[in-house]
Amino acid sequence: MRAVGADALARTLDALLTRVQYRLPADVLRWLMHAVRVERAPLARAALDAILRNADAAAQRSIPLCQDTGIPHILIESGPDVRLPGDVDAICSQTVEKVYRREQLRVSCVRDPLRRSSPLHACVLMSAPAPRDTVRLSVLVRGGGSENMSSSAALLPSTPPAAVEDHIVRTVAPMLCRTCPPVIVGVGIGGSFERSGWLAKRACFRRIGARSRDPFYARMERRLCERINAVGAGALAFGGVHSAMDVFIEHEPTHIATLPVTVILQCHSVRRGMVRL
Amino acid sequence: MSTKTVRLILPVRDPRALSRVTPGDTVLLSGELYVFRDQAHRRIAAGTFGELGGRDLSGAGVYYCAPTPAKADMPVGACGPTSSYRMDGLTEPVLALGFRVMVGKGHRGDSVRALCRKYRAVYLITWGGCGALLAGHVRAARTVAFRDLGTEAISVFAVEDFPVVVGIDVRGAALSTCCPRRLKGVSDES
């Protein structure tokens, strides 16, 4: 049994939450640098160039990549041979509060969703199993604009896979003009209704190019990415062929009467990071 | 579509300056830019103007944004645009106050195209998710109304060559890519 101390968890999370606000992940930067070279639509190329100059400005001047410093999602994957501190929730909330205050990140949440009162720094905790004594700590800071571009549907269980693909493209296309493409598309298929949302969110954590291990779903991811890029919205919806950086599908067993499908978009400001503890 | 780059000073005193731009044009904004979004729109639509009342707002610009707090050596933190469509239903009361320039990101509904025609106003799109880059075009910032709204309070930015692209012009013509109906693979979307 390997024990992870409260201090180690808090320290690692602190560093991760801070870094992601100012630096894009290497895979995203690489993708953007390639995209700006090959994009032919003038406004879309200018948009991609602005996104890259923004990344430089954020890193050099320690200004957050985006003013929507979001709601951080914290994913802890741990194996059966690991003992985590008992108060993981409290450690995460306190660390988020500490980092957001120290870094002067925007207070982007309210305690009451209807009365819109009491600003606070909230976070979303997610946990998942991992092999043996592995502990992976991941964060994904999600802005409200991306979060609004989420959709769940209860499809008929008889829906053929090709029609599920059509549904996903039809769902994503109109959303592209309301968020900040190029996006990462997270898709959750199966499970129960709320699990499909969890799976779609989990999919948004994957690195660009990290294909599904199941060849059937891997092919579907590739086809969906091509189709979404053919829609014509493009970078910041200025046209061209760079609407999606990648499409990731996570799937789970489901009931014979159901086929829940959730789609969640992640904007180009991919404030994501992962470390092993 | 032939596009051009023009400079615009805010507030816009001569309406003809707005008539000259068409969708796809690049505009560099300088001058005074009001900054507010959802909650301030809600109040204005409800007839509550707070400290905004009594100001001359003719030809003024509004930027849909809620910046991060300013760090020691800068007037403002990250300050990119928020999604404009959320303001669609609350836009007319703001134009009625005199505002003629709206700055945000993304698609807007047909109602806003009609409002642009009616009020001879324009909707301008700036780089979404580029709050650190855009902070470099803000020279000063001060809060002027609805302080209780925190990050959603109304402030005024002094901007210099703030980069935008014309999304909707005074004739109601819009940039085609920002219209979901014109995208491939989108059928009966409203």
When pLDDT is averaged across residues B129-151 and rounded to a whole number, the result is 95
In the predicted structure, residue B179 carries a pLDDT above the cut 90: no
Contacts 24+ apart (CB under 8 A), B168-171: B168/B23, B168/B108, B168/B112, B168/B113, B168/B116, B168/B122, B168/B123, B169/B18, B169/B21, B169/B22, B169/B23, B169/B116, B169/B122, B170/B18, B170/B19, B170/B116, B170/B117, B170/B120, B170/B121, B170/B122, B171/B116, B171/B117
pLDDT in tens, A167-219: 999 999 999 988 999 999 999 999 999 999 999 999 999 999 999 999 999 99
User: What is the pLDDT of chain A when averaged over all its residues?
Assistant: 96
pLDDT in tens, B85-95: 999 999 999 99
Report the gap between the CA of A232 and the closest CA in chain B (Å): 6
Contact at 8 Å (CB) between A183 and A147?
Answer: no
Residue B180 confidence (pLDDT):
59
Contact at 8 Å (CB) between B27 and B8?
Answer: yes
When pLDDT is averaged across residues A8-12 and rounded to a whole number, the result is 97
Do the chains contact at B77 and A104, CB–CB below 8 Å?
yes
Alpha-carbon distance A227 to A177, whole Å?
16
Do the chains contact at A67 and B184, CB–CB below 8 Å?
no
When pLDDT is averaged across residues B15-41 and rounded to a whole number, the result is 96
Residue A142 tokens, joined? 């999600």
Residue A116 confidence (pLDDT):
80
In the predicted structure, residue B190 carries a pLDDT above the cut 60: no
Alpha-carbon distance B50 to A230, whole Å?
47
Nearest to B68 among A105, A179, A237 (CB): A105
Query: Which amino acid appears at position A94 of this protein?
Result: Q
Alpha-carbon distance A18 to A133, whole Å?
26
Nearest to A230 among B79, B184, B189 (CB): B184
Least-confidence region, from A45-59, A189-203, A259-273, B168-182: B168-182
Residue B176 tokens, joined? 């085609």
In the predicted structure, residue A1 carries a pLDDT above the cut 90: no
pLDDT band at residue B188 under the 50/70/90 scheme: very low
In the predicted structure, residue B184 carries a pLDDT above the cut 70: no
Residue B189 confidence (pLDDT):
39
Q: Which residue has the higher pLDDT, A98 or B50?
A: A98
Contact at 8 Å (CB) between B105 and B126?
Answer: yes
- Residue A169 sits at the vertex; the CA angle it makes with A234 and A247, to the nearest 5 degrees, is 70
Residue A255 tokens, joined? 């009931």
Residue B178 confidence (pLDDT):
58
Instruction: Reduce the DSSP state of residue A142 to 3 states and report it.
Output: strand
When pLDDT is averaged across residues B88-117 and rounded to a whole number, the result is 96
In the predicted structure, residue A105 carries a pLDDT above the cut 90: yes
In the predicted structure, residue B181 carries a pLDDT above the cut 90: no
**CB–CB contacts below 8 A, A to B:** 161
pLDDT band at residue A117 under the 50/70/90 scheme: confident
Chain B residue with Cα closest to A105: B68
Parallel, antiparallel, or unpaired: how do β-strands B122-125 and B61-63 relate?
unpaired
Closest Cα partner for A234 from A184, A177, A189? Answer: A177
Residue B72 confidence (pLDDT):
80
Q: Which DSSP string corresponds to B84-149?
A: GGGGGGGHHHHHHTT--EEEEBS---HHHHHHHHHHT-EEEE--TT-HHHHHTTEEEEEEEE-GGG
Contact at 8 Å (CB) between A54 and B132?
Answer: yes
Separation of CA A97 from chain center: 21
When pLDDT is averaged across residues A79-98 and rounded to a whole number, the result is 96
Chain B residue with Cα closest to A41: B177
Do the chains contact at A63 and B178, CB–CB below 8 Å?
no
Alpha-carbon distance A273 to B171, whole Å?
46
Residue B169 confidence (pLDDT):
96
Question: How crowded is residue B87: how many other Cβ atoms within 10 Å of its Cβ?
Answer: 23
Choose from B5, B38, B68 for mutation: most chain A CBs within 10 A: B68
Instruction: Reduce the DSSP state of residue A184 to 3 states and report it.
Output: strand
Alpha-carbon distance A222 to A30, whole Å?
19
Chain B (72-111) residues lying within 8 Å, Cβ to Cβ, of chain A: 74, 77-80, 82-83, 85, 105-107
Query: Which H or E element spans position A32?
Result: helix A26-38
pLDDT in tens, A139-181: 999 999 999 999 999 999 999 999 999 999 999 999 998 899 9
pLDDT band at residue B150 under the 50/70/90 scheme: confident
Alpha-carbon distance B68 to B70, whole Å?
6
